[in-house]
Amino acid sequence: MSVNTLYINGQWRPASDGGLREIRSPHDNSVVVRVSEATQSDSLDAISASRASFDSGVFSRWSLADRCALVGRVADLIDRDAEILAQLESGDTAKRLIEARYDMADIASCFRHFATTGLALHDRIVDVGAANINSVITHEPVGVCALIGPWNYPLLQISWKVAPALVAGCSFIIKPSELTPSTAIYLMKLMEEAGLPAGVGNLILGAGATAGAPLTSDPRVDLVSFTGGLVTGKRIMATAAQTVKKVALELGGKNPNIIFANSNLDAAIDNAVTAAFLHSGQVCSAGTRLIVERSVHDQVVNEIVKRASEIYLGGPNDPLAESGPLISENHLAKIEEYMDRARQDGAQILAGGSRDTRDDLKDGWYYRPTVLGGCTTKMYCVQEESFGPIMTVEVFDTAEEAIALGNDTIYGLSGAVWCNDSEIASHVARALRHGTIWVNDYGPYRPQAEWGGYKASGVGRELGESGLGEYLEIKHIWTNNEPARSGWFADRTLEK
Ligand code: TXE
């Protein structure tokens, strides 16, 4: 059976060796869909198509207004087909359909944001103090971009890259996670419908080591934008360095959620549960590191433990489900190893700590929301991202101690502070070295605001003005309207 799910140079085609991959539901391990599994040679074809389209100017020389209009059309098409996209996303990830619907609304707003704010891009005149000189700073597309995505928010994370790349006028190759390809395939169809010229957008599906790696080493690629794990991110950065590519990396976090005794505890506790257990903790900004003031520790932790123990897990279409499974059997195994290590380090299991044993979940990768007490900063579970539903609890006595704990991590993506003293809250928010800090809230983001990490959480920013900047080169053009000799070196021909 031929499956044409690679999109290269405007053609839907199978893998060059006919290879296929089965996508299985994390809910019950059933086969959701079969897609083409790209070979290295398919990836090289996609790079050739991107390079040729970029160099030809078939899209990069469109006017900014036309490129923004195309991005706006993509937003409209996403809205039109939001239900289809949500079903596909929920099929691959087994996340609840309702969550996938929220994701699609966010994705349409991301495209809309770049379609409208991109229009504000303008050249800058530099006043060099000479009437005969025009000195202009202008923006140009960075070139061919490899856009490599993860499996937790498959279409959302790809869209944060695709929308600004289009506004900038880049050509690109999308490589979604091999576990969750369906919505990237559909998005490619929508971009085709919106009028993207052949060769500008290409889609490669398959394993990182074979289909993904050439995108990070080939000299014809100018930029790699990657969202995923730290280990892969480091490898990509090292490979990209060989050809001095630009890199943008979003590599997750170990995000502190600091609760002061004087905060609105009801809101703080409820949000702490959401922050840690939403989407089974498979969120780069998950609030998995609870840091709570000693005087309210017992009250806060008892309530969180009770709430965590009651969370009802279930499949994408279970109306009672509050959260779903982990993405894969491998990921579940990783979480189980992580928990073995937490136990050895002396963490106390206050809730969860095992797979969900409900009979209807036995074929899926369900892990109970877990709360670990008695944690100290040196423990592996406090320092390392699990990317699962695991919350660690630490205690503080002073604001400075809370800041020190919150910063005692190699990561720096996000965090929160719950405190009703605005001066202390603001001091803590500014002292935390993380890319996003919420005060008396957890989790909201907007496409207008930059997203990204300090330290090992990444390089560069997505969304906001900077999110477009990643896909632009800056050029200075100096024009002399009255050309004249420089007169720097003596011209001896004049002496003869
Ligand atoms: O992701 P990988 P994995 C974290 C989380 C998780 C860990 C590993 O802690 O447990 O990462 O997850 C592609 N060249 N996050 O192994 O390997 C791969 O095919 C080019 C955080 O699933 O990072 C996929 O498309 N590409 C995160 C993408 O990289 C390569 C979200 C991500 O895969 C490649 C997900 C290579 N050599 C996991 N190797 C976040 N920041 O939100 C792999 N890929």
Residue 166 lies in a domain: yes
Amino acid at 444: P
Ligand 1 centroid–CA 233 distance in Å is 8
Q: 478: which 2 tokens?
A: 């100096």
Q: Same domain for 280 and 174? A: no
Ligand 1 atom with the smallest distance to the CA of 176 is: 25
Ligand 1 atom with the smallest distance to the CA of 150 is: 32
Q: Residue of the nearest CA to atom 30 in ligand 1?
A: 208
Residue 412 lies in a domain: yes
Task: List pLDDT tens digits, range 211-225.
Answer: 999 999 999 999 999
Ligand 1 atom with the smallest distance to the CA of 227 is: 41
Ligand 1 centroid–CA 175 distance in Å is 11
Question: How many folded domains does the chain comprise?
Answer: 2
Active-site choice (284, 375, 381, 419): 284
Amino acid at 39: T
Residue 484 lies in a domain: no
**Dihedral angle sign, alpha carbons of residues 451, 177, 289, 313:** positive
d(CA 224, CA 458): 13
Domain end residue (candidates: 389, 410, 437): 437
Ligand 1 centroid–CA 228 distance in Å is 4
Average predicted confidence (pLDDT) for the chain: 97
Q: Residue of the nearest CA to atom 8 in ligand 1?
A: 229
Residue 442 lies in a domain: no
Q: Same domain for 159 and 115? A: yes
Ligand 1 atom with the smallest distance to the CA of 251 is: 41
Q: Residue of the nearest CA to atom 9 in ligand 1?
A: 387
Which CATH number does the domain housing residue 147 bear?
3.40.605.10
Residue 489 lies in a domain: no
3-state secondary structure of 115: helix
Q: Residue of the nearest CA to atom 3 in ligand 1?
A: 229
Q: Is 28 exposed, middle or buried (0-12, 13-18, 19+ CB in 10 A)?
A: middle
- Give backbone dihedrals phi and psi of 199, rounded to 5 degrees, phi first: 90, -20
Domain end residue (candidates: 389, 408, 437): 437
Q: 237: which 2 tokens?
A: 């950065």
Residue 421 has pLDDT above 60, yes or no: yes
Residue 496 has pLDDT above 90, yes or no: no
Task: List pLDDT tens digits, range 449-458.
Answer: 999 999 999 9
Q: Same domain for 80 and 117? A: yes
Strand partners, 355: 367
Ligand 1 atom with the smallest distance to the CA of 413 is: 41
> Average pLDDT in the 367-376 region?
97
Cβ atoms of 159 and 167 closer than 8 Å = no
Cβ atoms of 175 and 207 closer than 8 Å = no
Q: Residue of the nearest CA to atom 34 in ligand 1?
A: 208
Task: Using most ligand atoms within 8 A of CB, pick from 23, 145, 148 the residue to mutate for ligand 1.
Answer: 148
Ligand 1 atom with the smallest distance to the CA of 149 is: 25
> Average pLDDT in the 333-350 region?
98
Ligand 1 centroid–CA 235 distance in Å is 11
Question: What's the pLDDT at 494?
Answer: 81
Ligand 1 centroid–CA 277 distance in Å is 20
Domain that holds residue 188: 4-250+456-477
DSSP state string for 365-419: --B--EEEES--TTSHHHHS---SSEEEEEEESSHHHHHHHHH-SS--SEEEEE-
Question: What's the pLDDT at 495?
Answer: 79
Q: Residue of the nearest CA to atom 42 in ligand 1?
A: 284
Residue 338 lies in a domain: yes
3-state secondary structure of 247: strand
Cβ atoms of 331 and 403 closer than 8 Å = no
Residue 446 has pLDDT above 90, yes or no: yes
Task: List pLDDT tens digits, range 473-485.
Answer: 999 999 999 999 9
Ligand 1 centroid–CA 261 distance in Å is 38
Task: List pLDDT tens digits, range 258-312.
Answer: 999 999 999 999 999 999 999 999 999 999 999 999 999 999 999 999 999 999 9
Neighbours of 63 (CB within 10 A): 9
Q: Same domain for 62 and 131? A: yes
Ligand 1 centroid–CA 87 distance in Å is 23
Residue 368 lies in a domain: yes
Q: Same domain for 106 and 167? A: yes
Residue 2 has pLDDT above 90, yes or no: no
Q: Same domain for 281 and 385? A: yes
Q: Same domain for 116 and 195? A: yes
> Average pLDDT in the 180-203 region?
98
3-state secondary structure of 428: helix
d(CA 176, CA 230): 17
d(CA 142, CA 165): 9
Task: Using most ligand atoms within 8 A of CB, pick from 153, 217, 227, 232 the residue to mutate for ligand 1.
Answer: 232
Q: 103: which 2 tokens?
A: 């994701």
Q: Same domain for 146 and 94? A: yes
297-to-64, 259, 304, 321 alpha-carbon distances in Å: 54, 9, 11, 29
Q: Residue of the nearest CA to atom 33 in ligand 1?
A: 228
Question: What's the pLDDT at 1?
Answer: 56
Q: Same domain for 8 and 94? A: yes
Q: Residue of the nearest CA to atom 4 in ligand 1?
A: 229
Confidence of residue 228 (pLDDT cuts 50, 70, 90): very high
3-state secondary structure of 146: strand
Q: Is 360 exposed, middle or buried (0-12, 13-18, 19+ CB in 10 A)?
A: middle
Question: What's the pLDDT at 493?
Answer: 87
Which CATH number does the domain housing residue 354 bear?
3.40.309.10
Residue 113 has pLDDT above 80, yes or no: yes
Q: Same domain for 162 and 17? A: yes
Question: What's the pLDDT at 315?
Answer: 96
Cβ atoms of 198 and 188 closer than 8 Å = no
> Average pLDDT in the 341-353 region?
98
Q: 161: which 2 tokens?
A: 């890259």
Ligand 1 atom with the smallest distance to the CA of 157 is: 42
Q: Same domain for 216 and 339? A: no
Ligand 1 centroid–CA 229 distance in Å is 4
Residue ranges with strand state E in 114-219: 124-125, 133-141, 144-148, 171-175, 201-203
Who's near 213: CB < 8 A, 6+ residues apart? Answer: 40, 239
> Average pLDDT in the 60-89 region?
98
Who's near 132: CB < 8 A, 6+ residues apart? Answer: 480, 481, 482
Q: Residue of the nearest CA to atom 44 in ligand 1?
A: 208
Ligand 1 centroid–CA 232 distance in Å is 6
Active-site choice (250, 303, 385, 470): 250
Question: What's the pLDDT at 24?
Answer: 98
Task: List pLDDT tens digits, range 128-181.
Answer: 999 999 999 999 999 999 999 999 999 999 999 999 999 999 999 999 999 999
> Average pLDDT in the 7-16 region?
98
Task: List pLDDT tens digits, range 235-253.
Answer: 999 999 999 999 999 998 9
Q: Same domain for 373 and 306? A: yes
- Residue 284 designated active-site: yes
Question: Biggest alpha carbon distance in the chain?
Answer: 101
Enumerate residues lining ligand 1, CB below 6 A.
Answer: 148-152, 175, 177-178, 207-209, 212-213, 216, 227-229, 232, 235-236, 250-252, 284, 385, 387
d(CA 246, CA 472): 11
Residue 141 lies in a domain: yes
Task: List pLDDT tens digits, range 398-415.
Answer: 999 999 999 999 999 999
Taking Cα atoms as reference points, which of 101, 96, 95, 98 lies closest to residue 83? 101
